[in-house]
Chains A and B, each alone.
Chain A
């Protein structure tokens, strides 16, 4: 476990003198790339080079969130061989908020493990797509879900670019969306790191304010260019995420989607949303105009026909 608050970071951060100028240049560039970048909440760095695939985080999450007994016990590593539909690796599901998957990139002589859970996006697609506003992003950065208002349309699952939310299809009465909540009610709210972070024996997970965690990630890459590829996944992807990843191999090879772009998902919908007020204001006038035009023609015709019709009716 490694918890990083602002003061701690400053201590370690000051060690690297060049860092300040480096970051000074980087920030305005981000600000131009996407709006709504808060820089306020907390975040977690997942250092994939340190993860050993012990599944302690999975077990801790299960305990913390009172999830059902897993199908395969947490100390059974054969689970890494399981494949689901389409030859895909395991994913989050009903009762499983985080999973660790194993990859075998050819440039490494050892396997690489990747922990995966809700990334707590800065501009969450799940949140913006939900028509009853079931999601909230807390100031601490957690993306929370309110099962009391959820209708179960599952639009959030369509929208989440990381395929995170799962739905308890098996429940007939009150199926809900299930996903990692960054341990908000039990820990994050009180400034404590999430259970999975605390449980990690190799310090692969680092918790702190997102800004600091990001600086820390970049610093690690800078210090060990021989280990890491120069990319912090989640810094900019879909508008930035609270959970960040650094990796020794190309992210594409270990199941990360590298085509998501830097725009928050909501930006793709804006072109449509912009037409709504237009239609609402222009249409009535336009069609009322059409109506008057058409009926003037009609009126003329009526004048001609009226006489004849009256005769035939009497």
Chain B
């Protein structure tokens, strides 16, 4: 794609052609204004596509096999570890990393911080896709996925935390879809939805905050059901939900930093100046948010240990592992973020965001898998389970990229009037 832009091809960013008269057709838009041949050539030139292709070639047959031969054929079908990688990665890691949508929504729409506007849509999209794929992972993991809507319409277990998660993720997913309708309608050239949603945006944003606060916490509270199974250092009945909520804040923000960096590096042609020029400033802003969340998180982590007097466990092997997680996932990012912001080193901040993401993933996997059943034994996931998890993540990336290439997320859509003016 870079080569085409260099040759003077402008990726579609408005409803009409450069001359301002002919409207782009849907095919034009889908092919980014290239001819089919050009499109295929650029796609083949991208090594990422080859990697994705290879993953799909191995993973998709396994995924299909899971639905034909049952969960037992691709997982270790463990009674002691009912939740494996699909939920460990797909739900517990994906969802906090998708907390970006509601946070940037709040910052821009509620707190009126228009300086974050250029990244708002990316954050919303990150949230939407993250949640959507969390549901996809869930569908793969559920024994009877076709009954996913049962908690909504057939049978209610309102005292269950998962009930809350199900309802909230479903509602929040719709909220996020609505929040992103403006991008889609700009691209499609619809007018009406934009006006309607403009009026709803405040309500949607507040709904987003409420739902997110609750279900991010609820994911932690799911493990409240297992006081004897999750290791005491990771378990804390009064604090677990708060740990999950608080860490989702910096997880979401770090994810936006990382994704925006990737966008800047690999699809600069798609970003407009508004995005590229403001990105460093925004990155520092996001990092400041991370620092606040990280320090709160560190404090409540320590409070939780003090509250349950788990100090003794710190001296055990699990304790060392816990300290490692705390160091890599909280303390180091905290120090590096602060240093990076102070000395205005955008590169360092970006790298730190990556560490923070690793830390958060480690924390979620520790809670849901690694220290789970610490009194029994450690389960190593089935190779096919690993492969399917990777495949689903690859589909996530491919979808993400597909949308970023097209919808006005990283760039501002030029309304037809403006194009005419310029012409």
Contacts and interface: CB of A to CB of B under 8 A. Distances in A.
A151 interface: yes
A288 B79 CA distance: 47
A207 B370 CA distance: 40
Contacts of A93: 79
Nearest to A271: B238
A151 B110 contact: no
B147 A152 contact: yes
Contact of B80 (A125, A163, A171): A163
B377 A269 contact: no
B112 interface: yes
B142 interface: yes
B221 A167 contact: no
Given A128-B159, A166-B79, A175 B144 contact: yes
Interface residues of A, number: 63
Given A88-B376, A272-B218, A130 B157 contact: yes
A186 to B, nearest CB: 24
B47 interface: no
Given A132-B150, A166-B79, A167-B79, A268 B237 contact: yes
A259 to B, nearest CB: 6
Interface in B191-211: 202, 205-206, 209-210
B118 to A, nearest CB: 18
Nearest to A87: B377
Given A151-B147, A158-B225, A170 B70 contact: yes
A265 B229 CA distance: 12
B336 interface: no
A158 to B, nearest CB: 5
A125 to B, nearest CB: 6
Interface stretch (B29-37, B160-168, B251-259, B312-320): B160-168
A86 B205 CA distance: 48
B14 interface: no
Interface stretch (A73-81, A242-250, A275-283): A275-283
Nearest to A155: B162
A169 B227 contact: no
A257 to B, nearest CB: 6
Given A130-B157, A151-B151, A288 B68 contact: no
Contacts of B151: 131-132, 151
Interface string A90-110: 011100000000000000000
Nearest to B69: A172
Contacts of B150: 132, 149, 151
Interface string B152-195: 00111101111111100000000000000000000000000000
Contact of B164 (A128, A150, A159, A276): A276
Contacts of A175: 70-71, 143-144
B237 A271 contact: yes
Contacts of B143: 150-154, 167, 169, 175-176
B222 A265 contact: no
B227 A155 contact: no
B19 to A, nearest CB: 24
A272 B242 CA distance: 9
Contacts of A171: 70, 72
A275 B225 contact: no
A7 to B, nearest CB: 37
Interface stretch (A20-28, A40-48, A226-234, A293-301): A293-301
Given A151-B150, A172-B70, A283 B206 contact: yes
A91 B143 CA distance: 21
Contacts of B237: 268-269, 271
Contact of A294 (B77, B111, B154, B221): B111
B106 interface: yes
B40 interface: no
Contact of B154 (A130, A149, A260, A276): A149
B358 interface: no
B322 interface: no
A154 B368 CA distance: 13
A169 B155 contact: no
Interface in A50-102: 85-88, 91-93
A287 interface: yes
Given A151-B147, A163-B79, A290 B142 contact: no
A70 to B, nearest CB: 17
B70 to A, nearest CB: 4
Interface in B106-143: 106, 109-113, 142-143
Nearest to A172: B70
Contact of B225 (A151, A172, A265, A288): A265
Contacts of A202: none
Contacts of B160: 128-131, 133, 155
A152 B206 CA distance: 32
A265 B113 CA distance: 44
Contact of A268 (B67, B106, B227): B227
Interface of A: 85-88, 91-93, 125, 128-134, 149-155, 157-159, 161, 163, 165-167, 169-176, 257, 259-261, 265-266, 268-269, 271-273, 275-276, 279-280, 283-284, 287-288, 290-291, 294-295, 297-298
9 contacts: A129-B160, A154-B143, A265-B225, A268-B224, A269-B225, A271-B237, A272-B240, A279-B213, A284-B206
Interface of B: 67-72, 75, 77, 79-80, 82-83, 106, 109-113, 142-145, 147-148, 150-151, 154-157, 159-166, 202, 205-206, 209-210, 213-214, 217-218, 220-229, 237-238, 240-241, 376-377, 379
